[in-house]
């Protein structure tokens, strides 16, 4: 759905293109970080006791889950789970 008049879209695009590539990249990264923080907060609100694996899997599902078929999505979730377990074990060993 596009409810923005074309002339406003053009003005907005022109304003963005006046910025340097570096500035546009920083804006994009900041927006991504903000979106991630919102999703993570939502996941923690739903489950205050969520593990890091649960948070990582939830982030994946919210951002990318719809882009994969079920078998591929399950493989990715398994990999995320294993990586989180490995990270947790490595963290415990380093303490």
Query: Does residue 60 sit in the same domain as residue 26?
Result: no
Q: What is the b/e burial string over 32-66, where b = at least 16 CB atoms within 10 angstroms of the residue's CB?
A: eeeeeeebbeebeeeeeebeebbbbbbbbbbeeee
**Predicted confidence (pLDDT) per residue in 55-72, tens digit:** 999 999 999 999 999 999
Entry field: residues in the chain: 95
Number of folded domains that form the chain:
2
**Predicted confidence (pLDDT) per residue in 20-35, tens digit:** 999 999 999 999 999 9
Query: Does residue 62 sit in the same domain as residue 93?
Result: yes
Residue 93, Cβ neighbours under 10 Å: how many? 7
Query: Does residue 60 sit in the same domain as residue 37?
Result: no
Query: Does residue 65 sit in the same domain as residue 32?
Result: no
Query: Does residue 56 sit in the same domain as residue 43?
Result: no
What domain range is 13 assigned to? Answer: 1-49
From residue 76, how far is each of 56, 65, 72 by CA, in Å? 11, 9, 6
């Amino acid at each position: 759905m596009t409810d923005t008049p074309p002339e406003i879209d053009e003005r907005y695009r022109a304003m963005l293109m006046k910025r340097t590539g570096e500035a546009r990249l920083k804006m994009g990264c900041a927006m991504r970080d903000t979106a991630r923080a919102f999703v993570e907060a939502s996941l923690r609100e739903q489950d205050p006791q969520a593990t890091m694996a649960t948070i990582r899997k939830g982030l994946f599902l919210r951002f990318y889950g719809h882009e994969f078929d079920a078998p591929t999505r399950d493989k990715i979730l398994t990999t995320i789970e294993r990586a989180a377990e490995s990270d947790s074990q490595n963290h415990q060993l380093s303490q």
